[in-house]
Structure 1
Amino acid sequence: MPHRPLARALAALVALFAAALGAVLVPGTAQAAAVNYVALGDSYSSGVGAGPYDTSGCLRSQKSYAPLWAAAHGVTSFNFRACGGAVTADVLNDQVSALSASTTLVTITIGGNDAGFVNVITSCRFGSTSSCTNAVNTAKSFATSTLPARLDATYAAIRNRAPNARLIVLGYPRLFETNSCGWLAMSTYKRTILNEAADVLASVTASRASAAGATFADTRGYFSGHGVCAGDPWINDISGIIEAYHPDADGYRYGYLPALNAVTG
């Protein structure tokens, strides 16, 4: 009789150990790690082109890839700080303050506005062939000479503010298909050199992301066959001033989101 309490205690201890071991060995029984996600960047992260937009003044859309990913993965917390028109200085001054040691995931698109995206597109859409060529060459020169240091500083600031986070840098798509596209479209030559500029920007961004220990998610392949002039375009043409040459809702859902999923699993 005196030994029964001890026996019951030992049995309870064995049961507790078995339950704990089962939680480790049986998939789905262990508690999922917290995911604290902060989405930084420019209009290609805020969702310009997809609409509708919030009242922040940053043209943030819930149809952008970041909120779509957060919703699909049931994250612990999600802070959407990307802002249309942002350059690297805006990320440093206005966005990285959202990061902390508890942040576990950061995504960002940045660099296109630093390289003069709006000026290049405007010059090529409304200007002559020579003005388009000059604007593209200026942007490519900036991307290879000045932009790398700006990207390095931006990624370093993110690392400093969120030392425990995985940083994923998403690139920009090629905006155009180069097939015949009607007499109102940009010439094949202009569309070709704009795509080549996108390739230069992707190369520079991928290189600096790698140097920072970040993951680069290349979106170009996902948008292939869906640029402006495609039968099923995922990039807005000039029909909307704000949305022009940004992904539409399909572009974020079927272009950007799969590119992000491919590197996050």
Structure 2
Amino acid sequence: MRRSRFAAYVSSLLLAIGVTLTGAATTQAAESAAEGGYVALGDSYSSGLGAGSYLSSSGDCKRSTKSYAYLWAAANSPSTFDFTACSGARTDDVLANQLGPVNAATTLVSITIGGNDAGFMDVMVTCVLQSDSACLSRVNTARAYVDSTLPGKLDNVYAAIRAKAPSAHVVVLGYPRLYRLGAVCLGLSETKRKAINDAADHLDTAIAKRVADHGFTFGDVRPAFTGHEICSGSAWLHSVNLANISESYHPNAGGQSGGYVPVLSANA
């Protein structure tokens, strides 16, 4: 009996130490990332479209004070914070318009990019307005682009980031699955929802491969969003938002703070 109690005590002690060390490591990593400059690049999932509270100075880029980038910077106080992510951005837009603040003093870069190149919104419009077969055809076209053309586009962006910030830690965040499957849900058919989710997985897999080849870090947000997809009853993503149609199929404030921020924090 005493041995059993002693073993339980040791087990609890080791668990507490492990939790403490894990927390300390996470805090230390965040402090290290915050010692230099942080630059947040990317598309609408990085700008925070869908989260509201947009910076008036950002115009159509819709940069939000509730975006993961803004929230992380507020919590960690990097020496400088430059927020150039822009709604609608593609890889070429990042190269042309977003890399200005990235330099040798940059210690952390975050980015989501690739969804618009693959035709994300056109896929959603097709799947919402047209038949199952039309949706599947458009998804397959997007998947083919991801296989044939997107890798080279991503390589161009990642190489440019590394050239401008040789010592920066680069965290490339992925995209969530949009729908919970197997749930009673008005709107898209199960066939369409599954095809869209599978396409998100396909895109994330392609991005993760290029990220690994460049020595960057991939932040997979799919586990964090599990249970918070559209049709889940606790969604962190907008469905069709008639009040602001551009916010449709983007993370809301909860998706940014509960989905993206922890993944960036864990990988920064």
- TM-score bucket (shorter structure): 0.7 to 0.9
Equivalent position amino acid for 1:170 in 2: L
Residue among 176, 189, 206 paired with 2:179: 176
What is residue 119 of structure 2 aligned with on the other side? 116
Q: How many residues align?
A: 234
Structure 1: give runs of 5+ residues left out of the alignment: 1-27
Please state whether the residue corresponding to 2:172 is helix, strand or coil.
strand
2:209 counterpart residue number? 207
Specify the alignment match of 1:37 in structure 2.
38
1:142 aligned partner = 145
CA distance in structure 1 between the partners assigned to 2:123 and 2:171 by the alignment? 26
In the TM superposition, residue 171 of structure 1 has moved relative to its aligned partner by 0.2
Question: d(CA) in 1 for partners of 2:153 and 2:184?
Answer: 36
Please say if 1:100 is aligned against 2:80.
no
Shift of 1:161: 0.9
Task: Indicate yes or no: 2:79 matched with 1:76.
Answer: yes
User: Could you tell me which amino acid in structure 2 is paired with residue 34 of structure 1?
Assistant: E
Alignment of 1:82-93 (within 5 A): 82-93=85-96
Instruction: Tell me whether 1:252 sits opposite 2:256 in the alignment.
Output: yes
Deviation string 1:117-153 (CA, Å, 9 cap, x unpaired) is 0100000111111110011000011011100000001
The 1-side partners of 2:216 and 2:94 are apart by 16
Identify, as 1 or 2, the structure richer in helix: 2
| Contact 1:173–1:220 (8 Å) recurs in 2 | yes
Contact 1:179 / 1:229 at 8 angstroms: preserved in 2?
Answer: no
- Letter of the structure 1 residue corresponding to residue 37 of structure 2: N
Counterpart amino acid of 1:76?
S
Report the TM-score, using the length of structure 1 for normalisation: 0.86
Residue in structure 2 matched with residue 159 of structure 1 by the alignment:
162
Instruction: Give secondary structure in 2 for the equivalent of 1:169.
Output: strand
Deviation at 1:262, TM superposition (A): 1.5
Structure 1 residue 68, shift from structure 2 partner: 0.6
Q: How much has 1:34 moved relative to structure 2?
A: 2.1
Counterpart Cα distance in 1 of 2:44 and 2:221: 15
C-alpha deviations, 1:51-72, integer Å up to 9, x for none?
Answer: 1212222000010000111111
Find the aligned partners of 1:181 and 1:97 in 2 and give their Cα distance. 47
Q: Tell which deviates more after alignment, 233-242 or 105-114.
A: 233-242
In the TM superposition, residue 73 of structure 1 has moved relative to its aligned partner by 0.9
Root-mean-square deviation (Å): 1.4
Q: Is the 8 A contact 2:183 2:232 kept in 1?
A: no
- Residue 49 (structure 1) aligned with residue 50 (structure 2): yes
Q: Secondary structure at the match of 2:71?
A: helix
Say if 2:103 and 2:164, in contact at 8 Å, map to a contact too: yes
Return 5+ residue gaps in structure 2 as ranges. 1-27
Amino acid at match of 1:258: P
| Runs of 4+, deviation exceeding 4 Å | none
Aligned-pair CA distance for 1:84: 0.2
Contact preservation (8 Å) 2:40, 2:109: yes
Structure possessing the higher radius of gyration over alpha carbons: 1
What is the Cα deviation at residue 256 of structure 1?
0.4
Structure 1: distance between partners of 2:96 and 2:225: 31
Secondary structure class of the residue paired with 1:63? coil
CA contact (8 A) 1:49 1:246 kept: yes
Quote the Cα distance in structure 1 between the aligned partners of 2:184 and 2:117.
29
Distance 2:267 2:160 in 1: 22
Quick check: 109-118 or 232-241, which moved more? 232-241
Structure 2: distance between partners of 1:107 and 1:180: 33
Check the 8 A contact 1:36/1:103 in 2, yes or no: yes
**1:234 corresponds to:** 236
Q: Tell me, what secondary structure is at the counterpart of 1:163?
A: coil
